[in-house]
Amino acid sequence: MKKDNNAIVVTSIIAGVVLVVALVALFVVNGNSNMSNTVTVQGISTIKAMPDRVSVYFNIQTNGTTSKEASDKNSEIYNSLEIALLLKGFDRKEIGTENFNVYPNVYYDDGRQVTEGFIASRTVKLEFSSEDSTKLTSAVDAGINAGAGISYINFELSSDIQSEYKAKALEEASKDARIKADSVASGFGKRIGRLVSVSVDEYNYMPWVMYSGTGSLDMGAEARIAAENIRPTTQDITAIVSATYKFA
């Protein structure tokens, strides 16, 4: 009786394994069948965008024996910079501090760590309309004369314009994907059916850096020359969309 029970158990296990293998095989076959009845395409669009904002990043760095001294010196330069920019015709709301830090001045001398006073560092951003790009040189002069270095000069898209271009680029990429899918289907004598899946692979936008410096006052002359010769130009914005369609 015991041997009969063992035989039944073994037979049941074998039957179960066979059933599982059959189900897996069926799933794979159906999966391959479904995949062979679809087409995946990539839609790409590139549109020209004219930046509507100019951004100038100033760097103010000061030293002091105490953190307060370093901070106070930094604030003095910032106040001078703000006044100079206002006198140049910029609006107060166009000027803002991006970050401000005070930290110990630590360096190494003959392999020995030395702490000497404190450093206060501030990044100030001036952002204005690209229609006023002729004011760029006066902005750079105001910074240099106040004792601030120039880190970057960028042409950028405002958030509203960026959203507008993003929507347009993605729409065009989606249309391109559909055109490609229709063409592939036509080549095989088929028609495109329902959309199975879609993914946004890329939407490419970065501020256009027209000048990049160390933020040091020693680079002031280079920054001014760059400002005199910078003119806004259109830039490419690219969107890529992947779409999978089922053949009708």
| Spatial separation of the C-alpha atoms in residues 108 and 224, rounded to whole Å | 34
Q: Please state the rounded mean pLDDT for residues 197-218.
A: 86
Highest mean pLDDT among 13-22, 106-115, 213-222: 106-115
Range name among 27-36, 73-82, 97-106 with the lowest pLDDT average:
27-36
What Cα–Cα distance (Å) separates residue 223 from each residue in 12, 29, 176?
Answer: 82, 65, 42
- Residue length of the chain: 248
Q: Please state the rounded mean pLDDT for residues 151-178.
A: 94
* 53 close to 210: Cβ distance less than 8 angstroms: no
26 SS3 class = helix
Token pair 């604030």 is at which residue?
Answer: 75
Task: At 140, list the tokens.
Answer: 């750079």
Give the model's pLDDT for residue 36. Answer: 65
213 SS3 class = coil
Q: What is the pLDDT of residues 143-164, one digit of tens each?
A: 999 999 999 999 999 989 989 9
Domains of the chain are 57-153+217-230 (3.30.70.2970)
Q: What is the pLDDT of residues 2-37, one digit of tens each?
A: 444 444 443 444 434 333 333 333 333 344 445 569
Task: At 235, list the tokens.
Answer: 């830039």
Question: In the predicted model, is pLDDT for residue 65 greater than 90?
Answer: yes
Apex 94 CA angle, 96 and 156, nearest 5: 95
* 142 close to 81: Cβ distance less than 8 angstroms: yes
Closest CA to 61 of 74, 52, 49: 74
Residues contacting 181, CB < 8 A, separation 6+: 39, 41, 192, 243, 245
Between residues 234 and 127, the one the model is more confident about: 127
Q: Please state the rounded mean pLDDT for residues 60-70.
A: 97
* 204 close to 173: Cβ distance less than 8 angstroms: no
Q: Kindly report the average pLDDT of the chain as a whole number.
A: 85
> 31: how many CB neighbours lie within 10 A of its CB?
10
98 SS3 class = strand
Instruction: Give the DSSP letter of residue 215.
Output: -
Range name among 26-30, 38-42, 202-206 with the lowest pLDDT average:
26-30
DSSP annotation string for 54-73: EEEEEEEEEEESSHHHHHHH
pTM of the entire structure?
Answer: 0.72
Dihedral, CA of residue 195, residue 196, residue 201 and residue 204, to nearest 10: 20
| Spatial separation of the C-alpha atoms in residues 157 and 54, rounded to whole Å | 9
Q: How far is CA 144 from the centre of its chain?
A: 29
